[in-house]
Structures are given as structure tokens and as C-alpha cells.
Structure 1
Amino acid sequence: MAALQTLKRCAVSQTGKHTASVIFLHGSGDTGQGLRAWVHDVLAQDMAFEHIRVIYPTAPARPYTPMHGALSHVWFDRYKISHDCPEHLESIEQMCSNLGAIIHDEIRAGVPKHRMVIGGFSMGGAMALHLACRYHQDVAGVFALSSFLNRGSVVYQAVEGATGRPLPELLQCHGTGDELVPLAWGEETSSLLKNVGVTASFHSYPGLNHQLCRPEMELVRSWILKKLPPGSCSGGAP
């Protein structure tokens, strides 16, 4: 495995005492700053909270096979954009380690994992599922927007093997008009995760393409507040 990389990141700071954190991962070819700006445009303001810091990391530029090896800011490589092919596990494992360092930075800042949510858009949602469901199952929740997991994903195996341990709750959102990541791929991911024990909710948005929309982001914001309510970050998991 390649050496650990320190990822660039931007953040929307909490307005009061920092007792919880959200890590929000961008889609392929984007950046953390780009995703923050997009969310701001959709909501007409930053997604900000009194007690929650929202962190937008940037994936390092790497050769990306679907772009014939051109460099792109992607969390991992893919053999092709399809739910019906093997996962590129080497690059996924590397990025799980790199993103894990951000989680540990938040822990050092005094925020335990049960006061964290991990999520993402498109590829970022898939990356969030790998990170939360395989390596950090004690986070409060995970959200995936316009995202999917490959059939036979190691995420399903990891969750199925977590018998008796709590799993992060999943929120999935998807546009019915998405031509890049078809709705059926997202629905299949949700169904398969439910089959192996994940508590998941799936919301579709009529006509929405591979984009964010305001109702979706307002739902995400309210769901985050439900999972990370104001209060102390001390003590055990809720």
C-alpha cells in the first residue's frame, strides 16, 4: 500500500462549541472546495450548524481508467463506470487509510466517532460507504447521494460479518433522471445493504439528473441534525 497522504480539505466551522463533525466527500473530478460551493449554491448558504463542523476533503489527482488514464481528482480508480464489474480494491484501501486520518484528527479535537457522520456525492458516496461500513462502523451515520456500490462489493461482506455489532444508519438519495448513475443502481445498493442488516432509507427525486437539489440537501441537513443533535460529545455511544 502506498504511503499515507495528507489530504487537502476545507471546512465550514461550527458557530458554537464543536461537539460533532460531518465529512462530506465530492464526486469524481471535483474538489472539496468545489463541493462546498455547490452545496452553497443549492441551499443559498453554507450547510452550517451551531455545533457541527462540516469538512470537505479533496481527493488527490490520480490516473483514472474511465478517462483513459488522465489525471483526475478521484477517491479510487474504476475499471469502468458500472455496477457489474470488480472493484479496484487497491486504490479503495489506500484512500480508506488516507481518509481515516481525518477521522482521527477529529477524535484528537475531542469528537468521538459516534458524533460523526460520513457522506458523499456520486463516487464520494461509494467511498463513504466503504469507509463507514468497513472501517468505522461506530460512526453515527452515512449518506450517499446519486451513488452505488458494485455488485459483489466487499462492503456487503463486511456488513454481513458484523453480526451483533451496531452499524451506521444509511440515508440514500437519487434522481430518477440520472443517466450517469441510473436510479436502479442506487436502489439495488440500498436493497442489498438492507438485506445484510443496514438500517437504510431511500429517497428518489423525480426528473433529477446527476445533481444535487435543494429538497435533497434540506433532507440531508435535517437527517444530520437527527443523528448529531446538539449536546455534549462526551460519554458512550447513544
Structure 2
Amino acid sequence: MMLDTVVNETGAGPQWAVLWLHGLGADGHDFAPIVPELLRPHWPAIRFVFPHAPVQPITINNGVPMRAWYDIVSMDFRSRADAAGVDASVQALDALIAAEIARGIPAERILLAGFSQGGAVILSAVLRRTDPIGGVIALSTYLPDPDNAAARRAPDGIRPPIFMAHGVQDPVIPQAIAAHTAETLKALGFPLAWYSYPMAHQVCGEELQALGDWLDARFQTA
């Protein structure tokens, strides 16, 4: 089943696509307002796609249903993510990637972005992916089960560039957890740019500026 999405095209005939996954309890509208803050006048036309996660009960929230990419079954970051739920969301993301390719965007010009839970899904997806992708934007997030990441990585897997940013005061995902993810990905050969900001579980203007610079480099080298 194809996910419902919010789509924002910055110009006619988009040459790039950004698939952006929201965090727990939010929806596809959550990050749509960031687009005008991020854009730069000289950039190519981009199609931003913000999918809505399905609604499901969340174990650590007393089973209350909300939009989520997977169930959170524990407070322990080594086992908190429901593996079957992560797998299902990775498959849904793969379908969105395939849809963009079918619409004429080359895989090398598709970027995956995610905040918190959404970031956990895109990082899980890129580990398993063998077809190209333009880059990965991982915001205030972590990789589920990083100690077994190497075993889960596809033997002929890709290594796209990764932009990863986190808040020093994040009370939801401690920065140490994210930093461990960054080191794990670097050890697997991913070119990763790490940014840290004096913020909580959120995004900030300085972070968006750095992300814009990183995107600028992607667009110029493609």
C-alpha cells in the first residue's frame, strides 16, 4: 500500500526529490513549513515528499494509537524499536523511492530525510539498499540495533553521504546514542558529516543553514 503524502514542488519539472519522514505522533505536514526556510534561489527544482506514517498503538505510551513508523516497545535503545515495524516502514519507503524513479527522478537525485523515528527508518533503509541514492539527512535520530548494523548491511550495499545533526540537550534521544550511531556508520564506510547544536529534540536555524550548505554541495556535484 502506497503511503499518503504531502507534496511540495519548488518549481516546474523537478530534477530532484527529497523524501522526508516525520517523527512519532506527527504527520507529513510537520516539516513542510521548513521548505521555504531551506531553499536557495539557485537550486534546481525539487519535489519534497512528506509521507504520513500509519496510525498504530505505541507500547510505551500505554498502547495509545498515533502515527508511527514502528512501535516503541522499550526504553532501552538497543531493543526499543519493533523490528517488524521498521521492516514494514523500510518497504513503504522503498515504494516511495520507486514511485519517484517512475516519475522521472534518477535514483542518484533522490535524497532521504528523517527526524527522530523517521530518521531511524531511513538509516535502516540505507544499510540494506544496493541501488544508488543521492544522500541521507538524519536529524535528531539514531540507528536501531547499531551493534548488529554490519551484519544487516547488504554485502554490495551503497555508501551515500550522510548529514547527521543532534541536540546536546535532547531528552528523547540522548546525544551519546546518536554519536554512537554516527561512529558506527563511519566505521561502515559512510561519508558522514556530524553537527551538534545547543538544543533539545528539535531543529534550529543554524542547523538548517548547515543542511542548506550540505545540500548545495550535493546539487553542484551531481
TM-score (norm 1): 0.84
Report the CA distance between 1:91 and its aligned residue. Answer: 1.0
Q: Is this contact kept in 1: 2:74–2:81, CA < 8 A?
A: no
Residues 1:225 and 2:216 aligned together = yes
Q: Is this contact kept in 1: 2:15–2:44, CA < 8 A?
A: no
Residues 1:148 and 2:139 aligned together = no
Equivalent of 1:67, from 37, 56, 61? 61
Gaps of 5+ in 2: none
Letter in 1 for 2:171: E
| Cα distance in structure 2, aligned partners of 1:184 and 1:6 | 35
TM-score (norm 2): 0.89
What's 1:55 paired with? 49
What's 1:235 paired with? none
Question: Against the structure 1 CA distance between its residues 97 and 154, is the aligned structure 2 distance closer, same or farther, given a 3 Å change threshold?
Answer: farther
What's 1:172 paired with? 164
What's 2:6 paired with? 10
Question: Against the structure 1 CA distance between its residues 130 and 214, is the aligned structure 2 distance closer, same or farther, given a 3 Å change threshold?
Answer: same
Question: Against the structure 1 CA distance between its residues 154 and 25, is the aligned structure 2 distance closer, same or farther, given a 3 Å change threshold?
Answer: farther
Equivalent of 1:26, from 1, 6, 22? 22
Q: C-alpha root-mean-square deviation of aligned residues, in Å? A: 2.1
Q: Which moved more, 1:182-191 or 1:62-71?
A: 62-71
Report the CA distance between 1:129 and its aligned residue. Answer: 0.7
Gaps of 5+ in 1: 231-237
SS in 2 for 1:32: coil
Report the CA distance between 1:173 and its aligned residue. Answer: 0.2
Q: Count matched residues.
A: 219
Question: Against the structure 1 CA distance between its residues 101 and 130, is the aligned structure 2 distance closer, same or farther, given a 3 Å change threshold?
Answer: same
Report the CA distance between 1:52 and its aligned residue. Answer: 1.4
Report the CA distance between 1:46 and its aligned residue. Answer: 5.1
